[in-house]
Structure 1
Amino acid sequence: MPIKILGSSILHDAVIQNASDIHFIPFKKGGLVQFRIDDRLLEYRSLNFEEYVRVISHFKYSARMDIGEHRKPQSGAMDVLIDNISVHLRLSSIPSAFNESLVIRILPQQESFSINELSLFPHALQKLIFLIKRSSGLLLFTGPTGSGKTTMLYSLLQYLQQHYKRQVVTLEDPVERKVDTFLQMEINEKAGVTYGEGFKSLLRHDPDVIMIGEIRDEAAARLVIRASLTGHLVLSTMHASDCIGCLERLREFGIREAELKQTLMGVVSQRLISIPCRFCGDHCSDFCFKSRTFRRAGIYEILSNHELETAFNQDISDPPFYKSLPYYFNHAYAAGFVTKESYERWMGGQGNVQEENVEGSVSRNFSL
Structure 2
Amino acid sequence: MNIKRKADLLLSEASHNHATDIHILPTPEKYLIQFRIYGKLSPVKNFSLDVGERLISHFKFLASMDIGETRKPQSGSLQTTINKQETSLRISTLPSAHSKESMAIRILPQQSLTLDYLSLFPYSINHLTSMMVQAFGMIILTGPTGGGKSTTMYALAQYCSEFLNRNVISLEDPVEKIHDHLLQIQVNEKAGLNYSTGLKAILRHDPDVILVGEIRDAETAMIAVRAAMTGHLVLTSLHSRDAKGAIYRLLEFGIGERVLEQALIAITAQRLVTINCPFCGKDCSKYCNSQYRPKRTGLYEILHGKALLEAIKETRGEEGESSYKTLQKLIRKGIALGFLRQEEYDRWIVEEKEKVNS
TM-score by length of 1: 0.89
Secondary structure of 1:66's partner? Answer: coil
- Which residue number in structure 2 is paired with residue 346 of structure 1? 348
Task: Evaluate the alpha carbon distance shift between residue 284 and residue 53 of structure 1 in structure 2; reply closer, same or farther with a 3 A threshold.
Answer: farther
- Which residue number in structure 2 is paired with residue 265 of structure 1? 265
Deviation at 1:290?
6.0
Matched-pair contact (CA < 8 Å) for 1:17–1:289: no
- Which residue number in structure 2 is paired with residue 361 of structure 1? none
The alignment status of 1:147 with 2:147, answered yes or no, reads yes
Task: Evaluate the alpha carbon distance shift between residue 11 and residue 350 of structure 1 in structure 2; reply closer, same or farther with a 3 A threshold.
Answer: closer
Matched-pair contact (CA < 8 Å) for 2:310–2:322: no
Q: Which amino acid aligns with 1:218?
A: A
Measured in 1, the distance between the counterparts of 2:352 and 2:95 equals: 37
Question: Structure 2: any 5+ residue segments left out of the alignment?
Answer: 354-358
1:156-235 residue pairs with structure 2 within 5 A? 156-235=156-235
Measured in 1, the distance between the counterparts of 2:138 and 2:348 equals: 28
Deviation at 1:67?
2.1
The alignment status of 1:55 with 2:65, answered yes or no, reads no
Matched-pair contact (CA < 8 Å) for 1:210–1:235: yes
Deviation at 1:248?
0.6
Question: Structure 1: any 5+ residue segments left out of the alignment?
Answer: 352-368
Q: Deviations over 1:36-83 (max 9, x none)?
A: 111111222111222212211221222222222222111121221123
Q: Which amino acid aligns with 2:333?
A: H
- Which residue number in structure 2 is paired with residue 366 of structure 1? none
- Which residue number in structure 1 is paired with residue 105 of structure 2? 104
Deviation at 1:301?
0.7
* Farther off after superposition, 65-74 or 325-334: 65-74
Q: Which aligned runs of 4 or more in structure 1 are off by greater than 6 angstroms?
A: 316-320
Matched-pair contact (CA < 8 Å) for 1:299–1:325: yes
- Which residue number in structure 1 is paired with residue 326 of structure 2? 324
Matched-pair contact (CA < 8 Å) for 2:284–2:291: no
Measured in 2, the distance between the counterparts of 1:289 and 1:248 equals: 46
Measured in 2, the distance between the counterparts of 1:259 and 1:335 equals: 40
The alignment status of 1:274 with 2:274, answered yes or no, reads yes
Q: Which amino acid aligns with 1:239?
A: H
Higher relative contact order by CA 8 Å / sep ≥ 6: 1 or 2? 1
- Which residue number in structure 2 is paired with residue 307 of structure 1? 307
Deviation at 1:230?
1.6
Matched-pair contact (CA < 8 Å) for 1:24–1:101: yes
Q: Deviations over 1:74-125 (max 9, x none)?
A: 112122112321111111111112221100011112x112212111112212
Measured in 2, the distance between the counterparts of 1:96 and 1:277 equals: 40
Q: Which amino acid aligns with 2:103?
A: L
- Which residue number in structure 1 is paired with residue 252 of structure 2? 252
Q: Which amino acid aligns with 2:327?
A: L
Measured in 2, the distance between the counterparts of 1:27 and 1:292 equals: 35
Measured in 1, the distance between the counterparts of 2:194 and 2:157 equals: 23
Task: Evaluate the alpha carbon distance shift between residue 347 and residue 285 of structure 1 in structure 2; reply closer, same or farther with a 3 A threshold.
Answer: farther
Deviation at 1:313?
1.9
Measured in 2, the distance between the counterparts of 1:259 and 1:316 equals: 13
Query: Root-mean-square deviation (CA), in Å?
Result: 2.4
Matched-pair contact (CA < 8 Å) for 1:248–1:316: no
Q: Which amino acid aligns with 1:155?
A: A
Matched-pair contact (CA < 8 Å) for 2:311–2:322: no
Deviation at 1:26?
1.1
Measured in 1, the distance between the counterparts of 2:56 and 2:48 equals: 12
Secondary structure of 1:164's partner? Answer: coil
Fraction of identical pairs, as percent = 44
Q: Which amino acid aligns with 2:343?
A: E
- Which residue number in structure 2 is paired with residue 333 of structure 1? 335
Q: Which amino acid aligns with 1:21?
A: D
Aligned residues: 349
Measured in 1, the distance between the counterparts of 2:189 and 2:351 equals: 44
TM-score by length of 2: 0.91
Measured in 1, the distance between the counterparts of 2:228 and 2:211 equals: 11
Measured in 2, the distance between the counterparts of 1:267 and 1:196 equals: 22
Measured in 1, the distance between the counterparts of 2:292 and 2:24 equals: 23
Measured in 2, the distance between the counterparts of 1:123 and 1:282 equals: 25
Q: Deviations over 1:237-264 (max 9, x none)?
A: 0111111101010111111011111111
Q: Deviations over 1:169-225 (max 9, x none)?
A: 111111111111111111112112122322232223211111111011111111210
Matched-pair contact (CA < 8 Å) for 2:307–2:321: no
Measured in 1, the distance between the counterparts of 2:160 and 2:235 equals: 12
Matched-pair contact (CA < 8 Å) for 1:91–1:104: yes
Measured in 2, the distance between the counterparts of 1:319 and 1:91 equals: 44
Secondary structure of 1:312's partner? Answer: helix
